[in-house]
Amino acid sequence: MKNHHIIVFLFSFFLIMSLRGFVSCTDQETKVYVVYLGEHNGEKTLEEIEDHHCSFLQSVKGTTTSKEDVRASLVHSYKNVINGFSAVLMPQEVDMISGMEGVVSVFHSDPYEIRPHTTRSWDFVSLLEGTSLLNSREELLQNASYGKDIIVGVLDSGVWPESSSFNDEGMEPVPKSWNGICQEGVAFNASHCNRKLIGARYYIKGYEAAAGPLNETRDFRSPRDVDGHGTHTAGTVGGRRVANASAIGGFAKGTATGGAPNVRLAIYKVCWPVPDQSLAEGNACATDDILAAFDDAIADGVHVFSISLGSLPKSTYYTEDAIAIGSLHAVKKNIVIACSAGNDGPTPSTVGNVAPWVITVGASSIDRVFSSPIMLGNGMIVEGQTVTPIRRRRLHPLVYAGDVEIRGTTASNTTGACLPGTLSRNLVRGKVVLCRNSDIQASLEVKRAGGVATILGNRFNEIQVTPFLDPTTVVFSYSLNTLLTYIRTEKNPMATLVPGNTLIGSKPAPVMASFTSKGPNVVDPNILKPDITAPGFNILAAWSEASSPLYKPEDHRVVKYNIESGTSMSCPHVSAIIALLKSIHPDWSSAAVRSALMTTSTINNVVGRPIRNATGDDANPFEYGSGHFRPSRAVDPGLIYDATYTDYLLYLCSQNISLNSLFSCPEKVPTASNLNYPSLAIANMRGSIRTVTRVVTNVGKDNSTYVLAVRSPPGYAVDIVPKSLRFSKLGEKHSFNITIIRAQSSVERRNEFSFGWYTWSDGVHVVRSPIAVSSSA
């Protein structure tokens, strides 16, 4: 696999060198060489990596060579997969670098054919298992019969049934337990359902009651999807294997597949266009329509709900939120619900879908990037990323947007952002424009003003790619500053964008997405949310052919597959694995499935270091919950934290809420933190000591002993009794008490959360639970 990554880099370098003219430069001894240094350890930032690479060149070119000339000789710095670089070198310089410490090899750069890879998110998940792809991913699918008897209900914007991802070739008859229908409507009839899409309904009454009649030029009065969102999420859950799928321009080409390729999909269209707004503004999903969909779907016989919808929760969440209410009814029928955490990060306290009976999923990246370098007139190469098809072009003048604006259209805090109507046609025409903004509108504004290409700045450590209409690439903030310096110091700054490549193996990965909503839980901080994270960044899946990739009226492109980012994309990854777990363990409760996923997750990336967030800091449980899911390990978690519908009603009693008239709260109500949850949160702890109880059930093996390990949150001591748990048979339960003791020093940090964890291990299974604690006084 790594050899293929090298080939990708070599081919792009050859293209760059051809553009620059170095291959045929006057000094015949000067050629492009690759200096290979092995792998990254994941400890350096992208900027530090490039500086390190330049230090090799500075050593061989001598102190009399300026840093600018050194960087001009650097062709490409490998910052993601491979540790190394390519540069224009003379033979004697090659000899010198070859003998330096840390250099594995130095070789002449030649173009090679590139081998396509899969669409990747599922392969990346297998990497985090710590086992081979064959022993994890494929074995899980086989043991679960690819999910063939499990029905997943998808509440979303509908489906594009003609997509190859929903073909039913070779699938067995529809399960006899299915009670649903294939509701006909505009451009959708019974023939659009099959053994893959076994049912489809649409819900519009609530929407029309609130917003007026549907504008039928903007959507179909049927389960058919115009938006694309519903098709994408359904394909991620259970799309069939489709060879040679790719986004526009051939990016991410490979075999598209859902997490459970033979699972049955039931589509419940509950979202419709917002009146008088563009598709880019999103959809409206009426609360009553959602509840109607829940009601039907539970009766239809779904086993799993995948819900990539939600809102910022209010104080009335448990009593007024359709998803919270509908999902509680589903849990009573032992249906498992996965929900997206929301896209309002990185602001704290924005996580949605916080009910303890749903699995709340955050979003993180995979190890795939879409490299599109920028070549400057002085020969310097600046790394960018894009999924926009770009043709090879000559160098064009490079300008900063702040220097070519129409006077009076911007303020000090908006200059350089390429906002609509701010750029001067006279100053922009025929130029490459650098913008301090990564929004789609910035690229469209450059096009409006006559620019030939756009470079956008991104302030986070991961780049959310967009298939722009015109040549556009996105750079990190430090690269934006490099480009600004070049514009300010060069007499005639020039630039061109190099066509992009799909590169696999970026490290460190995963990284938490900047947009993923964060805890603490504003409804009840004693329930730690989100629960888990999964791939939700730059994910390829099926798309509606009625919608363009950009949702813009200027975009008339039609695609079968599209790259999208959001917790909407991470949620169906987890839904798919829930389906597989339900297939393997049909007797497990909804809580058991959640527990298995959470306690077997990992808080480390592929290089064994803590998962980071989009600003480069170590992430914490308010971002990833228990960690990044590891599906194959969840099949055999060892111990589970189980809970019943009654347990959830008791929990609601702690919130002074009753949602079941047949259930009376006891005189002594358990605290929220005592819910038998796989994570532990104690918010606003009063006094110096708090004790809670947990119960675990043995689902591993007979005659096993689990030993405790604890890392206490800073400012607290955690004492768990007993220190070991001995089980003689499967299904046996043991309880233990967790006592949190506040240190005197923690008074200074009141209302701030500290994080720790505890684990139970029998030498085979490691059952891990995060801890989050804050004190009030």
Q: Which of 53, 229, 396, 628 is catalytic?
A: 229
Pairwise CA distance, residues 767 & 595, whole Å: 9
| DSSP code for 164 | G
Selecting among 443, 506, 568, 673, the annotated active-site residue is 568
Give the residue from 771, 762, 620 showing the smallest Cα distance to 692.
771
Rounded to the nearest 10 degrees, the angle between the axes of helix 287-300 and helix 322-332 is 10
Separation in Å, CA 4 to CA 10, 76, 106: 10, 17, 17
Q: Report the C-alpha gap between 521 and 233 in whole angstroms.
A: 25
Structural tokens at position 382: 């600046």
- What length is written for the chain? 777
- Amino acid sitting at position 660: N
The identity of residue 481, as a single letter, is N
- Tell me how crowded residue 24 is: count the other CB atoms within 10 A of its CB: 9
What are the CA-CA distances from residue 121 to residues 449, 505, 517, 533 (Å)?
Answer: 38, 11, 21, 13
Given 123, 156, 321, 524, the catalytic residue: 156
Distance CA 573, CA 579 (A): 10
| CA dist., res. 82 & res. 371, Å (int) | 13
Query: For the stretch 106-118, what's the b/e string if a residue is b when 16 or more beta carbons lie within 10 angstroms of its beta carbon?
Result: beebeeeebeebb
Burial 165-182 (b: 16+ CB within 10 A, else e): bbbbeebeebeeebebeb
Give the pairing type, strands 532-535 and 359-364: parallel
Structure tokens at 327: 């999902």
Q: Sort 729 into a burial class: Cβ within 10 Å, 0-12 / 13-18 / 19+.
A: exposed
User: Catalytic annotation on 156?
Assistant: yes
Taking the alpha carbons of 25, 31, 37, 38 in that order, is the dihedral positive or negative? positive
Q: How far is the CA of 283 from the CAs of 272, 280, 325, 539, 571, in angstroms?
A: 5, 9, 21, 20, 18
Is 360 within 8 Å of 339 (Cβ atoms)?
A: yes
CA 659 to chain centre: 34
**Spatial contact of 606 and 508, defined as CB atoms under 8 Å apart:** yes
Q: Compute the distance between CA of residue 29 and CA of residue 26 in angstroms, rounded to an integer.
A: 9
**508: which DSSP letter?**
S
Phi, psi of 12 (to 5 degrees): -65, -35
Q: Rounded to a whole number, what is the distance in angstroms from the first to the last CA of the chain?
A: 55
CA distance 308 to 324: 13
**Matching residue, tokens 């093996």:** 701
Q: Is 229 a catalytic residue?
A: yes
Question: In whole angstroms, what is the distance from residue 775 CA to residue 344 CA?
Answer: 26
Active site residue 568: yes
| Beta strands in 239-319, from DSSP E residues, in sequence order | 242-245, 254-256, 264-269, 271-273, 283-285, 304-307
Active site positions, annotated: 156, 229, 568
